[in-house]
Amino acid sequence: MQGMKPTEDRELLNEEKDRRMHERFMRQAIELARRSVDQGGGPFGAVIVKDGQVVATGHNRVVPSCDPTAHAEVTAIRAAAEALGSFDLSGCEIYTSCEPCPMCLGAIYWARIDRMYYGCDQQDAARIGFDDSFIYREIALDPAQRRLRSCRLLADEAREAFRAWEAKPDKTEY
Amino acid sequence: MQGMKPTEDRELLNEEKDRRMHERFMRQAIELARRSVDQGGGPFGAVIVKDGQVVATGHNRVVPSCDPTAHAEVTAIRAAAEALGSFDLSGCEIYTSCEPCPMCLGAIYWARIDRMYYGCDQQDAARIGFDDSFIYREIALDPAQRRLRSCRLLADEAREAFRAWEAKPDKTEY
């Protein structure tokens, strides 16, 4: 996957017959990215939209919030879930000033966001020192081959918690 | 990668000559996972350790916190960064009751955690309805082939924010 330029899914622009609306939301994400730099964060912004309305925005706050997970998309997703009162963001679209890293892309899947519009890509990010592609490559490897050393431990005992989940009658699945 | 059973890096246990210490931290993560079920969360817990001391713990709070990113590992990483006053968790180890999903694995890389110990694996998780492997497969695909529809937009304008980052003399890199 690395090094391949993502193909545009142009239908996403045509079918809405409103490229200007998408561009407006993307410009808002880019403006958040630009302002984030002034505030000591990384140059990344994101906007989450539902039914043509902005639900939440986010920008990179890793340094100012002292939180390595506070990327623009994660921040916007957390804010959107709070605003909508649901961990399920089905029906939402995310506009992000840069193609998401694996952490943020994972968050987009967990949140069940329907569509993604992005500005810069991984290669642009790598050029200014954000090498998401290293993490993309690592995640695709077998755990034993990753740079991150890992070891399995107490698998049988760990499965006990899973059995408690299975046995719970009134659980909310997510 | 999918379907392959992760190989244990047994050296992680031997070199410390203290398997019992690792098991103690893992049991704490498993207990957090078990209690999380009682509290309406998913059956996942995590413990972050530095120099043999617990720095922070986390458990799944997606449903109770209404936050799709509130997985055990992300929650523990955020708490550890706050406790240590740093977005950089170099020198820390994470004990997680289950092999992390791509979002959490990405967070572990961004936090620069050194080592990971895990209990259940992806296959165990899939058996109780948490199909992380779908997200692992999607992330490895070219964007145009993913289930998540995506489209690139305003790349040139988006790069402006990157130029602002490059031009900033006093930025904190992360």
Residue-wise DSSP of B60-75: --HHHHT-TT--HHHH
pTM recorded for the entire structure? 0.92
- The dihedrals phi and psi of B58, each to the nearest 5 degrees, come to -155, 155
Contacts of A24 in chain B (CB under 8 A): none
Among the partner-chain residues B33, B77, B103, the one whose CB lies closest to the CB of A68 is: B77
Residue type, B128: I
Task: Express each pLDDT in B6-21 by its tens digit.
Answer: 455 666 776 556 788 9
Among the partner-chain residues A107, A114, A151, the one whose CB lies closest to the CB of B103 is: A107
For residue B57, give how far its alpha carbon lies from the nearest alpha carbon of chain A (Å): 15
Task: Express each pLDDT in A25-74 by its tens digit.
Answer: 999 999 999 999 999 999 999 999 999 999 999 999 999 999 999 999 99
- The dihedrals phi and psi of A45, each to the nearest 5 degrees, come to -140, 155
The average pLDDT across A135-145 equals 92
Task: Express each pLDDT in B107-153 by its tens digit.
Answer: 999 999 999 999 999 999 999 999 888 999 999 998 889 999 999 99
Instruction: With a cut of 80, say whether residue B82 has pLDDT above it.
Output: yes
CA distance A82 to A79: 5
Q: Is this prediction's ipTM beyond 0.85?
A: yes
CA distance A46 to A71: 9
What are the start-end ranges of the H helices in A2-100?
A: 11-14, 19-38, 62-65, 72-84
Share of chain A above pLDDT 70, in %: 90
Residue of B8, B23, B31, B73 marked active site:
B73
Instruction: With a cut of 60, say whether residue A12 has pLDDT above it.
Output: yes
Q: Which residue has the tokens 């968050």?
A: A107
Tokens of B122: 């992806």
Beta sheet of A115-120, edge-to-edge order? A53-59, A45-50, A92-98, A115-120, B149-152
The average pLDDT across B18-30 equals 94
Other beta carbons within 10 Å of A56: 22
Tokens of A41: 């964060």
pLDDT value at residue B3: 39
CA distance B174 to B160: 20
Task: Express each pLDDT in A73-90 by its tens digit.
Answer: 999 999 999 999 999 999
The average pLDDT across B78-89 equals 98
pLDDT value at residue A64: 94
pLDDT value at residue A144: 87
